[in-house]
């Protein structure tokens, strides 16, 4: 059914960069065989899943939506991909993203523009736009995305689905092509909190291949916590997330959701995260600095694209990178190289890191008496294709509510909370303390009901 839906929707939606129908059918057949033999199956066995194309898949192209990796076939699979396979989920294919996960609209893909299934003239969000659009269009039941500054939550919000950015370290990053290593996390995207909880159970936990991963707070099955009552919980509303720049329809919908939580027995109170307005600047300094270092490996020697125009080694490097990277990736590399260069390190990167400590302390203060915080996911609903392409700063502003979470390494759940006057989905964000995914998923689940 999913492949029939792909055949029907792909000409308009364009979420897939590669289909892996043959291997998906093999996995499905294996599940059928095990079922017939009466074997016990993992809970998600047979559920079709799409994989963001910055996660390595052995034997299947992993392009990061970049010309630089147009022909890259990894010799190994990411830990999360292996876990998906062990749990017998048929992988439908690799889905579109902004090049190297840099962007908020999927328009930075070298290959194609993905469209929002709710309104084809609009973007699906980014960078995990292919993941979100494929789930929203029924071209996959589940998807994996990655979130460095909102890339799971913002597209989930634009496409009206659920997305979880896990606590830093809760999910292995081994085999995720690195963008900003101190912020990147892989996470689940789905149509409900229950589905999200199931996929999160399957992919989370410590991995010896990623030294930053750990088992703290890990639950074998997050579904066991979904029935938890919201009654008695305290929800913080950070006032900085409802002011200037946030669309009125969006803040009204999130406030309405707060009322729903209140009616379920939660206490709702205003809190403050005074440093938040600086989070965007800090994010674009830290993430670009790390990206400039991580992307140094793409030089035409080991991976993917190599320029045909060169006389010597230096020219080969330069021309490969000039021709292989798109404009946004080059912008980040230049910005990152600049902030790390001698003489500027103290003024930018060091300040960014100091800001990180200050923001963490503010979040900690909120969690001293709040179970979770409630904010909009994005200041507005999905914008039109082409609307922000010539204005990078305007594009960056759509990350204003999501980046503080990555800077502080916290978990956050994005989920639908209504529609605007044009019928476009509005998303809310539940932010939890470190390793508090169970609290977020149970509160989200109660809200859905
Ligand atoms: N939109 C943000 C950026 O362009 C977030 C990207 C991400 O989370 N991968 O950096």
Q: Check residue 223 and give its pLDDT.
A: 96
Sign of torsion over alpha carbons 353, 354, 359, 364: positive
127 has catalytic annotation: yes
Q: Check residue 274 and give its pLDDT.
A: 95
Rounded to an integer, the average pLDDT of 296-321 is: 96
What is the percent of the chain with per-residue pLDDT over 70, rounded to a whole number?
100
Cα separation, 223 vs 225, whole angstroms: 5
Strand-pairing partners, residue 428, are: 376, 415
Residue 127 predicted with pLDDT over 90: yes
Domains of the chain: 2-225 (3.90.1300.10)
- Exposure b/e, 193-218, CB count within 10 A at least 16 = b: bbbbbbbbbbbbbbbeebebbbeebb
Q: What is the DSSP letter of 176?
A: B
Pick the residue whose CA is nearest to atom 10 on ligand 1: 102
> Cβ distance 91 to 286 under 8 Å?
no
What is the number of residues in the chain? Answer: 449
Ligand 1 atom closest to the CA of 128, numbered from 1: 9
ipTM summary value: 0.97
pLDDT tens sequence across 205-244: 999 999 999 999 899 999 999 999 999 999 999 999 998 8
Q: Check residue 243 and give its pLDDT.
A: 85
Cα separation, 141 vs 48, whole angstroms: 6
- Exposure b/e, 310-342, CB count within 10 A at least 16 = b: eeeeeebbbbbbeebbbebbeebbebbbebbee
Strand-pairing partners, residue 185, are: 147
Q: Is the CB of 20 under 6 A from ligand 1?
A: no
Q: Check residue 230 and give its pLDDT.
A: 95
Q: How far is CA 163 from the centre of its chain?
A: 7
pLDDT tens sequence across 320-370: 999 999 999 999 999 999 999 989 989 999 999 999 999 999 999 999 999
> Cβ distance 202 to 42 under 8 Å?
yes
Q: Write down the mean pLDDT value for the chain.
A: 97
Res. 398 pLDDT band, cuts 50 70 90: confident
Q: Is the CB of 155 under 6 A from ligand 1?
A: no
From the candidates 66, 109, 127, 172, which is the catalytic residue?
Answer: 127
Q: Is the CB of 91 under 6 A from ligand 1?
A: no
Cα separation, 397 vs 247, whole angstroms: 13
Res. 89 pLDDT band, cuts 50 70 90: very high
Cα separation, 157 vs 420, whole angstroms: 12
CB atoms within 10 A of CB 350: 13
pLDDT tens sequence across 156-201: 999 999 999 999 999 999 999 999 999 999 999 999 999 999 999 9
Query: Which are the contacts of 306, defined by CB distance < 8 A and separation ≥ 6?
Result: 300, 316, 320
pLDDT tens sequence across 134-162: 999 999 999 999 999 999 999 999 999 99
384 has catalytic annotation: no
Query: Which are the contacts of 89, defined by CB distance < 8 A and separation ≥ 6?
Result: 27, 44, 45, 46, 47, 48, 49, 142, 202
Strand-pairing partners, residue 267, are: 234
26 has catalytic annotation: no
Q: What is the DSSP letter of 241?
A: G
> Cβ distance 106 to 123 under 8 Å?
yes
Residue 438 predicted with pLDDT over 90: yes
Sign of torsion over alpha carbons 379, 158, 405, 266: positive
* Alpha helices (H) in 190-241, listed in sequence order: 193-203
Cα separation, 309 vs 243, whole angstroms: 52
From the candidates 15, 104, 146, 151, which is the catalytic residue?
Answer: 151
Cα separation, 187 vs 423, whole angstroms: 27
Q: Token match 């329809």: residue?
A: 249
Residue 403 predicted with pLDDT over 90: yes
């Amino acid at each position: 059914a999913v492949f029939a839906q792909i055949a029907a929707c792909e000409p308009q939606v364009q979420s897939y960069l590669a289909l892996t129908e043959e291997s998906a059918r093999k996995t499905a057949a294996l599940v059928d065989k095990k079922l017939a033999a009466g074997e016990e199956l993992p809970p998600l066995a047979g559920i079709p899943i799409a994989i963001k194309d910055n996660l390595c898949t052995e034997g299947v192209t992993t392009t990061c939506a970049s010309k630089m990796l147009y022909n890259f076939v990894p010799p190994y699979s990411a830990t999360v991909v292996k876990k998906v396979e062990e749990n017998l989920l048929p992988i439908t294919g690799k889905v579109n993203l902004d090049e190297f996960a840099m962007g908020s609209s999927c328009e930075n893909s070298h290959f194609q523009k993905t469209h929002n299934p709710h309104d084809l003239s609009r973007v699906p969000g980014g960078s995990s736009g292919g993941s979100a659009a494929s789930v929203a269009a029924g071209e996959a039941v589940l998807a994996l995305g990655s979130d460095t500054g909102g890339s799971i939550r913002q597209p989930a919000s634009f496409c009206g689905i659920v997305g979880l950015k896990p606590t830093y370290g809760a999910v292995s990053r081994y085999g995720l092509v690195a963008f900003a290593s101190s912020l990147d996390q892989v996470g689940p995207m789905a149509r409900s909190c229950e589905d999200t909880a199931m996929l999160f159970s399957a992919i989370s936990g410590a991995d010896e291949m990623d030294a930053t991963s750990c088992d703290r707070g890990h639950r074998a099955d997050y579904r066991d916590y979904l029935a938890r009552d919201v009654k008695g919980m305290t929800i913080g509303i950070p006032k900085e997330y409802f002011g200037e720049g946030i669309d009125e329809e969006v803040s009204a919908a999130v406030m309405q959701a707060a009322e729903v939580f209140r009616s379920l027995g939660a206490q709702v109170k205003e809190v403050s995260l005074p440093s938040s307005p600086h989070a965007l600047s800090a994010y674009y300094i830290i993430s670009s600095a790390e990206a400039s270092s991580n992307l140094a490996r793409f030089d035409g020697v080991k991976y993917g694209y190599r320029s045909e125009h060169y006389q010597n080694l230096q020219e080969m490097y330069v021309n490969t990178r000039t021709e292989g990277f798109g404009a946004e990736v080059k912008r980040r590399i230049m910005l990152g190289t600049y902030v790390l260069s001698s003489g500027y390190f103290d003024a930018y990167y060091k300040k960014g890191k100091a800001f990180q400590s200050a923001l963490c302390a503010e979040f900690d203060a909120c969690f001293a008496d709040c179970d979770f915080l409630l904010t909009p996911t994005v200041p507005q609903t999905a914008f039109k294709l082409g609307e922000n392409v010539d204005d990078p700063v305007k594009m960056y502003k759509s990350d204003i509510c999501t980046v503080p979470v990555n800077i502080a390494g916290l978990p956050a759940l994005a989920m639908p909370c209504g529609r605007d006057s044009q019928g476009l989905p509005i998303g809310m964000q539940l932010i939890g303390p470190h390793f508090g995914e169970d609290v977020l998923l149970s509160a989200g689940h109660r809200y859905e009901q």
